[in-house]
Structures are given as C-alpha cells and as structure tokens.
C-alpha cells in the first residue's frame, strides 16, 4: 500500500476543522485523484502526509512508514510538486535539483547523474546554468516536477499542477506524469479540473468540508449517483457554484 490514511483529523489553532475523519487507501502504482472545491482540505491532507502539518488525530502511513513517528523515512518516499512556483530565484536550474537531492542525503556523484538525467527528461538541459528566475512559466513547472523526482520518490504528490496553466503546457505535463506513473511511481493528484481527473486517474475521491464524500472510478462515481458523468456526480455533491471552476475550458480562457 502506497498511502494508508485512517481517521485523519486536523484542527488548526484557529479552530478550523480542515479534516474530519478522513480515511483513504492508495495502492502502489495507482494514479489517484483527490477532487474538491477550495477549502475542502486537500492541501491540509497533503501537508499532513509530507510532514508539513501535524495531524490532530488519526494515522498516515507512506509505504508502511508512519508520517509522524517515522517521519524521515516517510518523507523520503514522497515527492511533492506544490501548487505555488516556490523556486529559489538565486539558484540555477541545475543547482535547484542538486541542492534538493543534497537535502535528501543523496551522494554527490549520484546527484550529478540524476540532475543530468532529469534535465534531459524535462527538456531543460540547455537552460541548466540559467537562473530559475529567467525560465519561462512552462520551464518553471517542469523544473518543479523534476525537483520532486530527484530523490526517486515512490509516491509523487501533485498539488494542482495545472492551475492557471495553458492548454499546451497542461497536455505536456500530463504526458510526463503519465510516463512517470507507467514507470511505476504512484501518483496522488489534487485538482479541481474534472476532465483532468477523468482522463488521468484510476480512482478518484471527492473531498468536501474535510470529509471524503465519495470514492471510486469515474464510472463508479457516476453510477453511484445515478448520473451520466463524473461532472454530474460532482455537481450532486459539491454544488453548482463550483462547477464552472471545475471545467477546464472555462478556466483556460
Ligand atoms: P484546499 O487545499 O482543499 O483548498 P485547505 O486544506 O487549504 O483546502 O483548507 C481547508 C480549511 O483549513 C480551510 O477552511 C482553510 O481556510 C483552513 N486552513 C488551511 N490552512 C490553514 C492554516 N495554516 N491555519 C488555519 N486554517 C487553515
């Protein structure tokens, strides 16, 4: 099992209950989508999984390692491509990858080889010595993905990787991610684009108000709610106001 979350709750010091008894299991090799509107608890779930936030109750296991008790092992197994473009503008593309792997304890020689390999995979070799600041939007996104993969995580978490990204780049990122998944990496994707989830994910969970409200293949979900599509199921659960935001075509314009 790649990710095993049981009865996870998170209450922030402000009193907000961001997660209320979430249980979720993701098999090794799966491409899993977590869908929900803003404020549903997606980022909180990711932060708890990656050790950036401490659960109030419940357990998280990443390939068997407890995210709290055995945090460093759990963190080694996870690569996170965050929603924000959080690159260090004072580093070059190559340094960004090298330093990240150094943080994970990868020896120098292996770091150099892995950096070279990923710069090549993500078509960034020609830009390796340029400051991250000067890269195009698409290159920055690709570098973030490469950085998340540097330490060869078995679980890759993608937090809204295509938010505000144009259609061409979105398709390109999808291709990379599908390839990584085909090569054996488990993927947890959070998105509010239904089309993205429907095309990429083996299974999907809807989260709303800090709770998992439905889970299954997009076909299962549509059948469960007696509707024709994933979009209709989402509408049933999350409401009409959110739907326009969840349509890629609307957002891309
Ligand atoms: P999502 O990623 O689905 O948009 P979040 O996990 O960011 O949802 O947020 C879930 C809820 O927790 C929201 O009500 C949000 O305002 C609140 N929240 C998120 N982070 C914090 C924080 N650091 N401190 C207090 N409240 C937070």
Q: What confidence score (pLDDT) does residue 235 get?
A: 80
Q: Compute, in angstroms, the gap from residue 45 CA to the centroid of ligand 1.
A: 10
Mutation test of ligand 1: which of 13, 22, 35, 44 has the most ligand atoms closer than 8 Å to its C-beta? Answer: 44
Residue predicted with more confidence, 14 or 170: 14
Best CATH choice for the domain 1-77+154-214 from the list 3.90.1150.10, 3.40.50.150, 3.40.50.300, 2.40.40.20: 3.40.50.300
Q: Compute, in angstroms, the gap from residue 191 CA to the centroid of ligand 1.
A: 15
37 CB near ligand 1 (under 6 Å): no
Give SS3 for 36. Answer: coil
**Interatomic CA distance for residues 211 and 34, integer angstroms:** 11
Q: Is the model's pTM score more than 0.85?
A: yes
64 CB near ligand 1 (under 6 Å): no
* The two three-digit tokens of residue 144, written as one number: 């973030």
Q: Compute, in angstroms, the gap from residue 82 CA to the centroid of ligand 1.
A: 15
Give the contacts of 58 (CB within 8 A, at least 6 positions apart): 5, 6, 7, 8, 9, 21, 22
Q: What confidence score (pLDDT) does residue 189 get?
A: 95
Q: Are 190 and 160 in contact (CB under 8 A)?
A: yes
Residue predicted with more confidence, 215 or 230: 215
Residue 149 has pLDDT above 80, yes or no: yes
Q: Compute, in angstroms, the gap from residue 22 CA to the centroid of ligand 1.
A: 15
The band of 195, judged by pLDDT with boundaries at 50, 70 and 90, is confident
**Interatomic CA distance for residues 242 and 253, integer angstroms:** 17
Q: Compute, in angstroms, the gap from residue 78 CA to the centroid of ligand 1.
A: 21
Atom 14 of ligand 1: nearest residue by CA position? 39
Atom 25 of ligand 1: nearest residue by CA position? 12
The band of 178, judged by pLDDT with boundaries at 50, 70 and 90, is very high
Write out pLDDT tens, residues 92-138. Answer: 999 999 999 999 999 999 999 999 999 998 899 999 999 999 999 88
Mutation test of ligand 1: which of 9, 38, 43, 207 has the most ligand atoms closer than 8 Å to its C-beta? Answer: 43
Q: What confidence score (pLDDT) does residue 185 get?
A: 96
18 CB near ligand 1 (under 6 Å): yes
Q: Compute, in angstroms, the gap from residue 207 CA to the centroid of ligand 1.
A: 13
Delimit the domains of the chain by residue range.
1-77+154-214, 84-152, 217-253
Residue 241 C-alpha from the chain's centroid: 24
Atom 12 of ligand 1: nearest residue by CA position? 18
Ligand 1: nearest atom to the Cα of 37: 3
The rounded percent of the chain whose pLDDT value lies above 70 is 94
Q: What confidence score (pLDDT) does residue 221 get?
A: 82
**Interatomic CA distance for residues 211 and 193, integer angstroms:** 19
14 CB near ligand 1 (under 6 Å): yes
User: For residue 35, which phi and psi values (nearest 5 degrees)?
Assistant: -115, 140
């Amino acid at each position: 099992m790649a990710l095993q979350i049981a009865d996870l709750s998170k209450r922030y010091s402000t009193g907000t209950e961001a997660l209320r008894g979430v249980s979720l299991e993701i098999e090794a090799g799966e491409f899993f989508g977590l869908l929900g509107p803003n404020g549903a608890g997606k980022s909180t779930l990711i932060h708890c999984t990656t050790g950036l936030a401490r659960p109030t109750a419940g357990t998280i296991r990443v390939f068997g390692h407890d995210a709290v008790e055995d945090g460093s092992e759990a963190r080694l197994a996870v690569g996170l491509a965050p929603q924000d473009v959080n690159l260090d503008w004072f580093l070059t593309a190559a340094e960004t990858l090298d330093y990240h792997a150094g943080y994970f304890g990868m020896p120098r020689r292996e770091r150099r080889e892995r950096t070279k390999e990923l710069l090549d995979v993500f078509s960034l070799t020609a830009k390796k010595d340029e400051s991250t600041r000067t890269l195009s939007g698409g290159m920055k996104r690709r570098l973030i993905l490469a950085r998340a993969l540097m330490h060869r995580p078995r679980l890759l978490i993608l937090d809204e990787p295509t938010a505000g990204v144009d259609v061409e780049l979105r398709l390109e990122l999808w291709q990379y991610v599908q390839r990584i998944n085909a090569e054996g990496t488990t993927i947890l994707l959070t998105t509010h684009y239904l089309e993205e989830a429907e095309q990429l994910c083996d299974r999907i969970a809807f989260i709303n108000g800090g709770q998992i409200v439905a889970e299954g293949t997009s076909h299962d979900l549509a059948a469960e709610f007696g509707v024709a599509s994933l979009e209709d199921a989402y509408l049933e659960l999350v409401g009409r106001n959110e739907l326009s935001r969840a349509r890629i075509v609307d957002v891309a314009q």
